Amino acid sequence: MRMNVSESVAALIRKQRDFQKVLGNLVDHLDAPASPQEDEAPVGAVLNEVVGFGSNPGSLRMLEYIPPRLKPGAPLVVVLHGCGQSAEEFDCGSGWSSLARKFGFALLYPEQNSSNNSHGCFNWFRPSSIARDRGEVGSVQQMMASMVERHDLDAQAIYIMGLSAGGALTAALLAAHPEDFRAGAIVAGLPFGAARDAMNAFSAMSNGVVKTADEWAALVQQAAPENDVWPRISIWHGSDDQVVNIKNADALRVQWLAVHGLSEENAKTEKFGKVTGQVWHDDKGAIKVEFVVLDDLDHGVPILPGQGQEMPFMLASNIHLPQVLVERWGLSSAKQKI
């Protein structure tokens, strides 16, 4: 059975890489000399590793980026990479650190250890990794607390974004520690509770999981039973994703609409840069759930070349998702919008 799990995950990683429409590889991007035009492109910042931030129950690495002259009370954005990625690679491709410098917020990049998962995936499917204050979820929460204290950040202005396995762990953090986040974005991810072991995780990624809205919502509500306020959720998925079935995006939408007590029928259409998505508001008019399917996009983060760098799982598109999230979350203005 162990060999079957390993072979299945290994096949998934190979499949991921086969579907990337990029030229060259990451080494080419990082090592190639820049032309004058490329000098102005985001190349990723030097991320600083932090040790001793807590008991680290999930044995993750902590990397952070603090822009020069960051003001007290700045927001914090947590970014979770996908399988086979490092924090540095993700930052280089996404351009998050360029946005942090421009708009004045801190970045936290938790990174998986190969001793936890040989493929570099966050273990979003293991109950011991995603329970409140335990495992990888507990490690990320300790990292956040450390950054808030050491850099005098605003503990009420923490946002999170994750891709694929990082997206699934994002869903777990939003479920287990909802009080810690103002908003979160799940990109090509899976709903909380979609699997409880590696074999079921692979099946969920490939085929999706069927549950009722109430069943999906109960999984989230049981993760933090004393909580009655839930963060804003943004769900993004490519229509041509060959790695994580788009049924998982539909399940995420169903799950978080039910958690927020919202009806599918009350969706409104809204522009997200150059693409169109759906939004749901609460009875006070605040957006609580956003859902965007990106036409013709495979498995990855949509980026604009020049704002990010095209590489595996960073895919050229007509929008730059990190920039869109910065604007939607109100981080591009002095006054936060949500």
CATH number, position 265: 3.40.50.1820
User: Is residue 333, in this structure, part of any structural domain at all?
Assistant: no
Residues labelled as active-site residues: 164
Nearest CA to 12 out of 140, 151, 203, 189 is that of: 203
Distances (CA, A) of 157 to 9, 143, 152, 179, 272: 36, 15, 12, 11, 22
pLDDT at 293: 98
Q: Which residues of 190-219 are buried (b: 16+ CB within 10 A; e: fewer)?
A: bbbbbbeebeebbbbbeebbebebeebbbb
pLDDT at 43: 54
Number of domains in the chain: 1
Q: Which residues of the chain have pLDDT under 70?
A: 1-44, 334-338
SS3 state at 164? coil
| Alpha carbons 75 and 71: distance in angstroms, whole number | 10
Range of the domain at 211: 2-328
Mean of all residue pLDDT scores within the chain: 89
Neighbour tally for 181: CB within 10 Å = 22
User: Is residue 51, in this structure, part of any structural domain at all?
Assistant: yes
Q: Which residues of 83-107 are buried (b: 16+ CB within 10 A; e: fewer)?
A: bbbbbbbbbbbbbbbbbbbebbbbb
Alpha helices by DSSP H, listed for the chain, are: 2-18, 26-31, 87-94, 96-103, 127-130, 135-151, 165-176, 198-207, 213-223, 247-260, 321-328
Nearest CA to 187 out of 293, 108, 62, 113 is that of: 293
* Helices vs strands, H then E, count in the chain: 11, 12
pLDDT at 220: 98
Asked if 182 and 232 touch (Cβ cutoff 8 Å), the reply is: yes
User: Is residue 180, in this structure, part of any structural domain at all?
Assistant: yes
User: Is residue 58, in this structure, part of any structural domain at all?
Assistant: yes
User: Is residue 338, in this structure, part of any structural domain at all?
Assistant: no
| Alpha carbons 162 and 156: distance in angstroms, whole number | 19
User: Is residue 335, in this structure, part of any structural domain at all?
Assistant: no
pLDDT at 333: 76
| Alpha carbons 22 and 204: distance in angstroms, whole number | 27
pLDDT at 21: 37
User: Is residue 337, in this structure, part of any structural domain at all?
Assistant: no
User: Is residue 69, in this structure, part of any structural domain at all?
Assistant: yes
| Alpha carbons 276 and 266: distance in angstroms, whole number | 16
Q: Residue for token digits 């399988």?
A: 83
